[in-house]
Structure 1
């Protein structure tokens, strides 16, 4: 097998992953009188903001306003900050596959959907199709009932059979300035995939069944921060408003899979982004909400002295790196034995192997399943995509209709929702646990992994140990 080195990836792999795509002070209009910008309420009185400045979001809980107009009309040189945008691909899936399933995983034909969920099987999450033993599962203890998780992302397609009755449509909200609701509306299936990892109910009664989430009885609040406009990113003001609102709505965790790339610490936009998230994380912790953030897909060592990955490195953020197997149902070690397939045996690399793309370093609190890939076998006919994370998606047919489906994605975006689901499990057992207590439980019960703290932080997420400790 090949060496799955980050160096080789960074030199250039034929994978859909964008580089840094930021805009400072960019907006829908370019005139000085109609710019998007932020107002810092610690530097100017709200009453001094002119009436002709449009307030898009009032986030005075963290002393910020997201505004549009002429920033020079607001008194005080330090009272306004340029908007910063981040594109989903900066911290979205590093790799994905939406094609048909292979039919050669064992002797009984095409795999059922849950058979492809190695991430749930290795954690003994629930009673999955053809599960080869009768031991107790995580879901025998809790399925996350009574909890609420915000998915701050591209929207959630709630008509998916595994997400019906999961999304709270009254609390869900669109934080962009487009005219649509909180569903994807052309913004992509990233948020739907994430929601399935957290809360998929395995309710599809079709021949292949559905997919199962970590906490299928939790409630999802969809906060959409991306629009369907091609190339348009998420404005910082929209993002902070969405995150603060999630805390105000009593969410136990906010799952966040958006980043700003890895950049030198002296970039002009870094203090703006860092300060906005610093204020938010302090507020979220006061409100009892865990902020779960994907560590990023640049394959970089996060070293705050020289480079920074935001918001992962902001104090109060729970950063998650990604791991994944190589050779799940294929490879030189593959065995057609059904039990070995289902239990993740006969792998080239274990499910705890750091993914080729994951960021790593001091800002990682734990690692979790995000998917992996052997870049050299893509296109050779083997089902390499089995090593990615399988979850709910949607597609659009030739008539423009939305169709529920399933697909593979990999990225720290897929690792973070594993932890967000874990927060739901803990809070269902300990509703009054503080943010510090929840985070400590997840870290203290994490399993040791070979590569140590650099890639895994306190360790690799271990749901069985977690729910046992939380009982």
Structure 2
């Protein structure tokens, strides 16, 4: 066992439940200096630059570019355009319930399995998903997962083995680099759910610790992002050969204007391109607790885009109360999670909340790695304090699916993308609450891995084209 005790885990309050954080305020505004351009024919980046524009993101395979410059110059360029959408969130302050005795500064000698990790006993999500048993078949070796988020700290001891720093990219323009936590703790927490090391006897275990993680940082150090940057990161994930792209981004208020179809078409073209090239795109449904089938005030972006696996959240009540049994099972729909039969594809462990908060309530959340960014007086990123957080949200549910997808993809050298999604759907388990909360069902990681293993031996290859589940 490692040298970290229960008290060395930093516990965060229920306010930290979100898409980035439940209860956070997200605002959107049209930019006047950045535009999303749909080009005509063989228009290239050089043609746009000839009009005095700076090309920020290139997506030539789908005929789009994100550019900066004056609107009059964009008007003179070939093609259609609309303003990029600036997104800003304000994260609530965490309520630290118990002192973190010390930050993580290294790892103990290697262990042999997930169950050797010191915090595995708190990971109800990995226990109920049969992750140690799945690792007897595959740990995700050879799979590549993009984490499109606030940044993944490659220096975190539970992720140093996994992060591909060379492929990692910064889409924000803040100059703070990539493979770091400059945008906040959130991306490192998500990445740990996917790929935290199971053999270092430190911290937690991820679903696919053998997989490679590519950090696609789309949130800047000031908490801002843009619609264009997020969509460009999805495109990059496909061109970088990622088997899975995870977007624990929740819902962002892209304006419902006369031009909404333009933004939707941009997103749809890219998600379709990604899935066709073999990338399984996974996204959180968001944490407003609303019915996406009927509530017109909320749009699940990017979860509602074609080809995206939209994930809602479940969790137990009573895992840490010390009593035998649970007040609510682990596949119970989480009250904060958005739902809707037309949107949700799968549910997965994201954490639950008891409003009464008896002792141990935080253990119903999801425990994973976290890195708190540090900046000098000039605002330059200088590193992070590496620790562990209990957090809940559909943001935590989505990477459970992404990790399972990596395990399935690792067994298929040629068939990916739609094959992976079909396996996850076909092996999903029935759960209380119905399709509006679970879609095709509740994620079953072990069943998915075993199904893929059987299929890899040629038993089901001819039948994988038929999806018995509901379509969107």
TM-score over 0.5 (shorter chain): yes
Name the TM-score class by shorter chain: 0.7 to 0.9
Mapping for residues 6-405 of structure 1, pairs under 5 Å: 17-25=23-31, 35-42=33-40, 45-46=43-44, 47=47, 50-75=50-75, 79-87=80-88, 99-100=98-99, 112-126=118-132, 137-205=133-201, 209-229=202-222, 232-261=223-252, 266-268=256-258, 270-303=260-293, 306-307=296-297, 308-330=299-321, 334-335=322-323, 346-361=325-340, 362-377=342-357, 382-395=359-372, 402-405=384-387
For residues 414-458 of structure 1, the C-alpha deviation after alignment (integer angstroms, 9 at most, x for no partner) is 001001111111111122224222111101100000111010000
Q: Distance in 1 between matches of 2:391 and 2:435?
A: 25
Q: TM-score, normalised by structure 1?
A: 0.80
- Cα drift, residue 237 of structure 1: 1.8
Q: For residues 305 and 101 of structure 1, do their structure 2 counterparts lie closer, same or farther at Cα, with a shift above 3 Å needed?
A: closer
Aligned to 2:420: 438
Structure 1 vs Structure 2 CA RMSD: 2.9
- Cα drift, residue 99 of structure 1: 4.2
Q: Distance in 2 between matches of 1:148 and 1:169?
A: 13
Q: Distance in 2 between matches of 1:234 and 1:250?
A: 24
Q: For residues 75 and 403 of structure 1, do their structure 2 counterparts lie closer, same or farther at Cα, with a shift above 3 Å needed?
A: closer
Q: Distance in 2 between matches of 1:200 and 1:149?
A: 13
Q: For residues 182 and 48 of structure 1, do their structure 2 counterparts lie closer, same or farther at Cα, with a shift above 3 Å needed?
A: closer
3-state SS, counterpart of residue 135 of structure 2: helix
Q: Distance in 2 between matches of 1:117 and 1:355?
A: 17
3-state SS, counterpart of residue 367 of structure 1: strand
Once the two structures are overlaid, the 10-residue window that deviates more, 299-308 or 272-281, is: 299-308
Once the two structures are overlaid, the 10-residue window that deviates more, 431-440 or 420-429, is: 431-440
Instruction: Flag structure 1 segments of 5+ consecutive residues without an equivalent.
Output: 1-8, 10-14, 27-34, 103-110, 127-136, 341-345
Q: For residues 21 and 75 of structure 1, do their structure 2 counterparts lie closer, same or farther at Cα, with a shift above 3 Å needed?
A: closer
Contact 1:22–1:86, Cα closer than 8 Å, also in 2: yes
Contact 1:192–1:392, Cα closer than 8 Å, also in 2: yes
Contact 2:51–2:74, Cα closer than 8 Å, also in 1: no
Contact 1:154–1:189, Cα closer than 8 Å, also in 2: yes
For residues 174-214 of structure 1, the C-alpha deviation after alignment (integer angstroms, 9 at most, x for no partner) is 11112121133531111100110000013444xxx320000
Q: For residues 353 and 94 of structure 1, do their structure 2 counterparts lie closer, same or farther at Cα, with a shift above 3 Å needed?
A: farther
Contact 2:250–2:395, Cα closer than 8 Å, also in 1: no
3-state SS, counterpart of residue 216 of structure 1: coil
Q: Distance in 2 between matches of 1:233 and 1:19?
A: 12
Choose the corresponding residue for 1:418, options 389, 396, 400. 400
For residues 46-68 of structure 1, the C-alpha deviation after alignment (integer angstroms, 9 at most, x for no partner) is 43664311111122222111111
Instruction: Flag structure 2 segments of 5+ consecutive residues without an equivalent.
Output: 1-14, 16-20, 102-116, 377-381, 454-472
3-state SS, counterpart of residue 302 of structure 1: coil
Q: Distance in 1 between matches of 2:449 and 2:97?
A: 33
Q: Distance in 2 between matches of 1:364 and 1:305?
A: 14
3-state SS, counterpart of residue 343 of structure 2: coil
Q: Distance in 1 between matches of 2:79 and 2:333?
A: 42
- Cα drift, residue 227 of structure 1: 1.0
Contact 2:38–2:63, Cα closer than 8 Å, also in 1: yes
